[in-house]
Structure 1
């Protein structure tokens, strides 16, 4: 029999090691298999897809964009829904019918030398965490204000995969890059000003 003191210690340790969940705009945890809209906290349209490979912010302020689903690298298995946790590796996938031929799983594209940016696109592989899929994994992290206080329900998306031991990867926030030629607001890695978002259940 495990002594009560030891059992309490084990439960406390396991609880402390479990990352907190990501919350939607209603204050409920995000769950796998449920569709959500990713909405910029500062206003503007939601996120959408432009074939063949671009993830964009809609130029229509009232648009919610396309819904997405989240699939953690360490899933529940057997179709069991689990909550989406802070700072854990996730696949993000547009959950909508499109005319795009490639998958709608988010993926970090190749470096664009003309724009000098790493753009977020689609065409990724869902699941199979490892070296060959490292570009397909993103994380959701809470954001804080200038005084270090955590915002209520405010998050940012980061690219910093930890599913591949020994891989050399970038660790940067996902922000918005405005294309000077087209005016498109493309998701790209940034060192300055992440895109702060909220999640609304679709």
Structure 2
């Protein structure tokens, strides 16, 4: 009897220790922006290709199937177009966006002719708007792609329940670079969108360094990617 109790106590201790180790290992790394800062829920970010001349950021286009709505998520063909900013909302309601953590992705406050949410969803194999969000079974995630001398790059994936997650990449359809499932991943970095005050301060500081008079000058948000890095 004593031997049995001793054995059960050992199993309980081993199980508890293993659980603690697993819990520690399950702490997911934060997703980092181009400055090395953690992505924050509710903040706005551009999802841009790592290498210049590989197209611009993510934007919206008329639906590939010919209908007006919902809109397709596509990559801008122009390198100087950062696209529309994205916001990320973790399903666990945390403040930090973490690798492989379920989340909602949305183009925030973007005026469109479709009176529908700009939350991402999947239609067939295409990434579109008009998502509902908050779905614990079907959701998007950000995963690490590779570490480069310039930055850690990432990719979007789409996950359904316990099935393997599918990579999200670009497919050329009718001359449009549409985001779709089951293709080579879209390798990207995240660049935080500067507020008007931050950008105004940045540009004025740069102009003052050049001996320019900047009083009374208005500046437009949207610097080229190479300058923002």
**1:62 matched residue in structure 2:** 80
Instruction: Using the TM superposition, give the Cα deviation of residue 104 of structure 1 relative to its aligned residue in structure 2, in angstroms.
Output: 0.2
CA RMSD of the aligned region, Å? 2.3
| 1:120 matched to 2:127 | yes
Q: TM-score, normalised by structure 2?
A: 0.66
Q: C-alpha separation between the residues in 2 aligned to 1:171 and 1:20? A: 18
- Structure 1 or 2, whichever has the larger Rg, is 2
Runs of 4+ aligned residues of structure 1 deviating over 6 Å after TM superposition are 8-12
For residue 160 of structure 1, give the secondary structure of its aligned residue in structure 2: strand
**Structure 2: distance between partners of 1:185 and 1:197:** 15
- Encode CA deviations 1:137-185: one digit per residue, 9 max, x unaligned: 11111013xxxxx343200111114xx46xxx56311010111x3x111
More strand by share: 1
For structure 2, the 5+ residue unaligned runs are 1-16, 63-68, 194-229
Q: 1:113 corresponds to which residue?
A: none
Partner of 1:40: 49
Match of 1:173 in 2: 167
Does structure 2 retain, via aligned residues, the 8 Å contact 1:142–1:156? Answer: yes
Q: Which residue of 2 aligns with 1:143?
A: 145
**How many residue pairs get matched?**
166
For structure 1, which segment, 61-70 or 47-56, has the greater mean C-alpha deviation from structure 2 after superposition?
Answer: 47-56
Per the alignment, residue 4 of structure 2 pairs with none
Unaligned runs of 5+ in 1: 1-7, 77-81, 111-117, 145-149
Residues of 1 paired with 2:89 and 2:19: CA distance?
28
